[in-house]
């Protein structure tokens, strides 16, 4: 199962790495793909939506 989020505020490769690291630590996440240009973050696995959103916020970004 995969879920796509639109994340705002990412501007560089470091932003992408931060989001991937935080979301990747959420229990149940098996993969994270981030597209900087579109702000799209695709999360694969059986993760709790609220935990994924919290991880994105922890990385310093917002879910649109």
Predicted confidence (pLDDT) per residue in 1-10, tens digit: 999 999 999 9
**H helix intervals, 1-64:** 13-24, 49-58
| pLDDT value at residue 58 | 97
Find the helix packing angle between 13-24 and 49-58, rounded to 10°.
140
Q: What is the pLDDT of residue 30?
A: 98
Query: What does pTM read for this prediction?
Result: 0.94
Instruction: Tell me the pLDDT band of 56, cut-offs 50, 70 and 90.
Output: very high
The Cα 6–Cα 53 span in angstroms is: 10
Work out the burial of residue 34: count CB atoms within 10 Å of its CB; fewer than 13 is exposed, 13-18 middle, 19 or more buried.
Answer: buried
Q: Reduced to 3 DSSP states, what percent helix, strand and coil does the chain have, rounded to the nearest 5?
A: 35, 35, 30
């Amino acid at each position: 199962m995969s879920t796509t989020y639109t994340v705002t505020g990412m501007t560089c490769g470091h932003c992408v790495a931060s989001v991937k690291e935080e979301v990747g630590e959420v229990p149940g996440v098996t993969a994270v793909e981030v597209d900087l240009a579109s702000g799209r973050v695709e999360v694969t696995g059986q993760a709790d939506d609220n935990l994924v959103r919290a991880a994105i916020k922890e990385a310093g970004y917002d879910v649109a």
